[in-house]
Chain A
Amino acid sequence: MTEKLLEVESLAIRYGMIPAVNWVSFSLARNQVLGIVGESGSGKSTLIWALTRLLPEAADIVSGSVWFEGRDLLRLEREALRALRGTRISYISQDPMSALAPSLTIGQQMVDILYREPWSHREKRARAIDALDWVSLPDPEARLDMYPYELSGGQRQRVSIAMALMLEPDLVLADEPTTALDATLEVEILELLRRLQQESECAVVFVTHHLGVVASLCDEVMVMHRGDVKEFGAVARVFARPEDDYTRRLLRCDPARIAQPTRRLPTMAQPPDAPVEHHAGPADRVKADETAVLEIRDLSVTFRRAGVLPSWLGGRPRVIDAVKQVDLTLHRGETLALVGESGSGKTTIARSVLGLVSPQAGSITLAGREIIGADAARLRAARAEMAMMFQDPTGSLSPRVPLGKQVVEPLLIHRQGGGDLRARALELLAQVGLGAEFAERYPHQLSGGQARRVGVARALALEPRLIVADEPTAGLDVSIQGDILNLLNEIQERSGVAILIITHNMSVVRHCADRMVVLLRGEIVEAGASADIFSDPSHPYTRALIEASQHHLPEQSNEE
């Protein structure tokens, strides 16, 4: 099987004057899986779009050709290219919600793809059912008449995979197909893709910023950085003996690949061969100070959704138990991780702590003061002692206010604005490693990592007792995750702030959390020191989560 299915020759693409892909050449044989990894802005998405000429209008192809079965896709006539798309080459997009048309049923959309085929409607429907069955979607016949919003994220991604593979293409292009999914779902989808790939013997080009995905799924890997191919080769070889400096730094940075927990994660700036520092933090800090910063007792939160019928017609509101009788204690200087999938109630707990939702029962005390049922003045006082880092770092910054003003906003709110506010703003920005020039910038001018740092600076303004960090590494490249986690750890060691991390990223938990609490459908299923739980998980769900995170680890890690 040495026949080349796809051959890319010196492909170069620019956006106006900005180069996106620089003279990239590679080839792919049938039945091979190629992973393209790189940070955001590395040109990996542009490259995969170019393979079916689905480039944004602003992109210019400077040079190169994409040979597929002896034809150059970049110079093919529109109609001929259209005939290839979907049948021979198909595409799985990142966001399963926006990939499906919201006002058509799954079945209508799936049957529609088969418009070229001479079959009757009944036959096409049967094909669609087969395809859904193939991607292990339970009860495919009933799902066919559902709308996309009636399916969960994982189910939607299964549907879009089924649609991509329905006509048995030779080449499948997948653009970060698991990025929007939870850890355990991610593993399910990856396993599904692997099985489908083996059964259909198609070639796959897989774009991702997740190194573990590449390790577990791909035969070959291409590492991209700022439009250049840094390394290209068999996965086993690249992961074991990376030749390029950038690849070595990148592999060294991935928290999932560092076996022993550490609070000083390696960063991209360090030399690629420096040993990983195993800094455990002050070991006895929790025992030294037994003051509970946050105590949650018997917390229950239920949401009521209005029923389909109004109440006078007998409609009954749907009651959802988001959180059921949760107990938590968080001490000074300690990091506690709330772990679980989306919908497990972890964000609801955090929002209750901040007084953004009103729980039905239980008590939450911050430094001895009750938050549930507190009046406006008391709630304000409590909010001065805690800070939240929201999941979307850019979205949680006010779009039209310069950053220098935003980081000191908490001081103004709580009337602690005495003294030189501008000096204080610069000091806060400096604490998170941002220069004075950032004071004049606006959120839209920041990268994800920089916006995250501004969020940390704003959280530090009031020197809170508690920081609630909702998915602090979400949407960040592997190369920056370590920087942000190190920053949080250093701040904690300096100030003794208690940190509540909400995450589904198990390697974050392993490296940063002293203790962890595992939530499943609003209930705690396991709680304890994270080191103990990682070495001996008792609940099957915890075991699944940990296995899902280690699933990506290459068999042998060369870190030591």
Chain B
Amino acid sequence: MTRALALRMTGRLPDAAALRRLILDPMGAVGLALVVLLILSALFAGLLAPYDPTAINVPAKLQPPSWDHWLGTDQLGRDVLSRALYGGQIALSVALVSTGLALAIGMFFGLLAGFGPRWLDNIIVLAFDTVRAYPVIILALAVGPLFGAGMTTVIGILVATSVPYYGRIFRTSVIAAAKAEYVEALQAMGMRGARIVVRHMLPNIIGPILIVASMDIPTFIAAEAGLSFLGVGVKPPTSSWGLILDDGYKFIRQTPWLVIAGSVPLILATLGFTFLGEALRDVFDPKLRKEP
């Protein structure tokens, strides 16, 4: 009976009921609202921003918030609200592109390791472990200057360090899924391996992995800000939350507003994605749910 119950609750695609459960969960509702707000403000940054984020107006530097500049100005007189909005664009695109690429590449190597011959599996797993042994920041500081700072480098570093992570999840999931009776049933019917993987196994293992990935987006957002702060990420005059923070630390004696303007959106974005990811996991993981 419990087994039938568990079966009924897993293997389910997102539907209206799942969405309703997500919104009814206070954490999920807050997370969803923050994420939607972030996405909208990033998409419409061009319309919402009152100023050009790179327009320099030195006489008006380091102003506190006012009706003209809601979040004040930085040391070059640039409007901080505009810079924060465009910074959201950068943060979101870096996070989404890195997650997408890391998932795709991780899936490729993970499947290769899971289905390939033993020796290939060993080589791939060894490579995964080698990459994972480097701390992200140290690797970024070492590799960053080599390729030059910029958005591509940030994405490159984030993808390289998270591919082994997703690759391992894919590898373990397919090895586990290959033992399922339905896979054997399809084999017994004479279905080709590739077709079993694409049509039957992937749809079953991808759901949980996507939820893990959604919980990694805040990490990527924070990593982008951190790398930009350290000078291996996005370069000025392009805007980034990390750069606003960097400026804020330099001028913290003159004004606290830059640090606040750089950190509040970063905190809200990471919180939003974390809440949403956890709520999603609760909605889809039957073991954590309480109703029958």
Are chains A and B native binding partners rather than an unrelated pairing?
A: yes
Which residues of chain A have C-beta atoms less than 8 A from B291's C-beta?
16, 58
- Are A56 and B292 touching (Cβ within 8 A)? yes
Instruction: Contacts A41-B1, A444-B7 given; indicate if A396 touches B190 (C-beta within 8 A).
Output: no
- Number of chain A residues whose Cβ lies closer than 8 Å to a Cβ of chain B: 40
Please determine whether B190 and A401 come into contact, CB atoms closer than 8 angstroms. Answer: no
- Neighbouring B residues of A56 by C-beta, 8 Å: 2, 292
* Bound form: Cα–Cα A16–B5 in Å: 14
* Cα(A442)–Cα(B191), bound, Å: 20
Q: Find residues 1-57 in chain A having any chain B CB closer than 8 Å to their own CB.
A: 15-16, 18, 40-41, 45, 56-57
Kindly provide the distance from the CB of B194 to the nearest chain A CB, expressed in whole angstroms.
12
Contact A383 B189 (CB under 8 A): yes
Are A395 and B180 neighbours in the complex by a CB distance under 8 Å? yes
B181 touches A395 (CB 8 A): yes
Q: Once the chains bind, are A413 and B191 in contact (CB under 8 Å)?
A: yes
User: Of B7, B191, B199, B204, which one neighbours A394 at CB under 8 angstroms?
Assistant: B7
- What is the minimal beta-carbon distance from A227 to any residue of chain B, in angstroms? 13
A354→B11 contact, CB < 8 A: no
Identify A356's interface contact among B1, B188, B192, B292, CB under 8 A.
B188
Q: How far is the CA of A360 from the CA of B210 in the complex (A)?
A: 43
Kindly count the residue-residue contacts between A and B in the assembled complex, taking CB atoms under 8 Å apart.
85
Q: Is residue A388 contacting chain B, with contact meaning CB distance below 8 A?
A: yes
Partner of B186, one of A57, A409, A443: A409
CB neighbours of A291 from chain B (8 A): none
Residues from chain B with a CB closer than 8 A to the CB of A436 are none
Contact of B4 (CB < 8 Å), options: A40, A356, A380: A40
B86 vs chain A, min Cβ distance (A) = 40
Chain B residue with the shortest CB-CB distance to A401: B200
Which one, A57, A399, A444, A448, contacts B290 given CB within 8 A?
A57
Q: What is the CA–CA distance of A510 and B186 in the complex, to the nearest angstrom?
A: 31
Given A356-B184, A396-B181, A396-B182, CB of A384 within 8 Å of CB of B190: yes
Interface size on B, residues (CB 8 A): 30
Interface residue from B180, B188, B199, B204 paired with A383 (Cβ < 8 Å) = B188
Report the minimal beta-carbon distance from A423 to chain B, rounded to whole angstroms. Answer: 21
Measured CB to CB, the closest approach of chain A to B290, in angstroms, equals 6
B250 interfacial contact with A, CB 8 Å = no
What residue of chain B has the Cβ atom nearest to residue A461's Cβ?
A: B189
Docked pose: A40 CA to B5 CA in angstroms: 12
Contact residues, B194-214 vs A (CB, 8 A): 195, 199-200, 203-204
CA of A18 to CA of B8, assembled, Å:
16
A390 and B189 alpha carbons, distance in the complex (Å): 12
CA distance A394 to B91 in the complex (A): 44
| B110 vs chain A, min Cβ distance (A) | 19
**Inter-chain contact B11/A443, CB cutoff 8 Å:** yes
Q: Contact at B181–A392, with CB atoms within 8 Å?
A: yes
A395 to B186, CA, bound (A): 12
Verify A410–B189 contact, CB threshold 8 A: yes
In the complex, the answer to whether A383 meets B190 with C-beta atoms within 8 Å is: yes
The residue on A at minimum CB distance from B3 is A394
Q: What per-residue 1/0 map shows which CB atoms of A371-394 lie under 8 Å from chain B?
A: 000000001100110011011101
Chain B residues whose CB sits within 8 angstroms of the CB of A40 once the complex forms: 1, 4
Q: Which residues of B contact A390 (CB under 8 A)?
A: 181, 184-185
A380 contacts which chain B residues (CB < 8 A)?
A: 190
A409 x B189 contact (CB < 8 A): yes
Q: Which residues of A contact B290 (CB under 8 A)?
A: 57-58
Minimum CB distance partner of B6 in chain A = A444
- A16-B291, A445-B8 known; A398-B187 Cβ under 8 A: no
**How distant is the Cα of A442 from the Cα of B7 in the complex, in angstroms?**
11
Closest CB in chain B relative to A301 CB, distance in Å:
16
B13 within 8 A of A: yes
**Minimum C-beta distance from B24 to chain A (A):** 15
Q: Are A16 and B181 in contact (CB under 8 A)?
A: no
**A413→B292 contact, CB < 8 A:** no
Q: Is A399 within 8 A of B204, CB to CB?
A: yes
Closest approach, in angstroms, between the C-beta of B213 and any C-beta of chain A? Answer: 19
B182 contacts which chain A residues (CB < 8 A)? 395-399
By the criterion CB–CB under 8 Å, are B8 and A15 in contact?
Answer: no
Q: Which residues does chain A contribute within 8 Å of B204, judged by CB atoms?
A: 398-400
* B185 near A388: Cβ-Cβ < 8 Å: yes
Which residues on A sit within 8 Å (CB–CB) of B292? Answer: 15-16, 18, 56, 58
A383 to B184, CA, bound (A): 13
The yes or no answer to B20 lying at the interface (CB within 8 A) is: no
8 A-B pairs (CB sep. < 8 Å) = A57-B290, A387-B189, A388-B185, A390-B185, A397-B185, A410-B189, A444-B12, A447-B4
- Which B residues form the contact surface with A (CB < 8 A)? 1-2, 4, 7-13, 180-182, 184-192, 195, 199-200, 203-204, 290-292
User: Which 10 A-B pairs rank lowest in CB-CB distance, beginning with the nearest?
Assistant: A383-B190, A399-B11, A395-B181, A58-B292, A396-B185, A380-B190, A400-B203, A396-B181, A398-B200, A15-B292
